[in-house]
Amino acid sequence: MIRKTFFAAAAAIALAVPAYAGSHSMSKDVVDTATEAGSFETLLAAATAAGLVDTLKGEGPFTVFAPTDAAFAALPAGTVDDLLKPENKDKLVDILTYHVVPGKVMSTDLSDDMTATTVEGGDVMIDLDNGVMVNDATVTQADIEASNGVIHVIDKVIMPGM
C-alpha cells in the first residue's frame, strides 16, 4: 500500500506539470515543477483531494503521463467536481495512479505497440504510428525531467479499464 500511495502521489502532482520548455530543472521534483507552472490547477486540486501531495516529494523514479487542464475540462460536465468529493477519493487515486509507470522511461526508451503496467495495476498501450500515443491520448510534450522522474504531457485523461 505504501508503494501504491507513493506512486499515486507522483501521478497526482506530476500530472500538474505544464507543457513548457526550458524552465524545468533536474534539481526540482515534480511537486516544485508543477507548483511553479501555475497552469495545472485541476491536477493540483486532485492531488490535494487524494491526499497525495506530500508523497510526491519522494525519491521515485517514476514516469508520469500528465493530462493538461484542458484534458480535464474535456471530460463530461461535472466529472471533475464529482471526483474531487471525499467519498470518491479511492476512484480519484485509481485514475491518477493509472497515469504513472514505475521507473524513469524517456521517449527514446519507447517502442511501438508496447504495453506498460501502471501503478494502478492496469496496462497502457504505447503506439508510435502517429506521433506518440498512450492509449487514446497524444503526447504533446515529452521528457520533462525532474529530480525524481520524468513527465510526458498528454492531451486526454486516460481512464483505467477503458
pLDDT in tens, 110-125: 888 899 999 899 999 9
Q: Mean of the per-residue pLDDT values for the chain?
A: 79
pLDDT-derived band at 106, boundaries 50, 70, 90: very high
Look at residue 159 and tell me if it is in a domain.
Answer: no
Look at residue 143 and tell me if it is in a domain.
Answer: yes
pLDDT for 31 equals 67
| Highest mean pLDDT: which range of 7-11, 44-48, 95-99 | 95-99
pLDDT in tens, 54-94: 766 678 888 888 888 999 999 999 999 999 999 999 999 99
Contacts with 82 (C-beta within 8 Å, 6 or more apart), sequence order: 88
Q: What residue type is 87 in one-letter code? A: E
Q: What residue type is 161 in one-letter code? A: G
pLDDT-derived band at 130, boundaries 50, 70, 90: confident
pLDDT in tens, 136-160: 999 998 888 889 888 888 999 999 9
Look at residue 162 and tell me if it is in a domain.
Answer: no
- Judged against a pLDDT cut of 50, whether residue 14 lies above it is answered with no
φ, ψ (nearest 5 deg) of residue 100? -125, 135
φ, ψ (nearest 5 deg) of residue 140? -95, -20
Look at residue 28 and tell me if it is in a domain.
Answer: yes
**Residue found by looking up cell 525524481 in the block:** 148
Say how many domains are in the chain.
Answer: 1
Residue 162 or 118, more confident: 118
pLDDT-derived band at 37, boundaries 50, 70, 90: low
pLDDT-derived band at 39, boundaries 50, 70, 90: low
CATH number of the CATH domain containing 143? 2.30.180.10
What is the domain range of residue 32?
Answer: 2-154
Look at residue 58 and tell me if it is in a domain.
Answer: yes
pLDDT for 88 equals 95
pLDDT for 9 equals 37
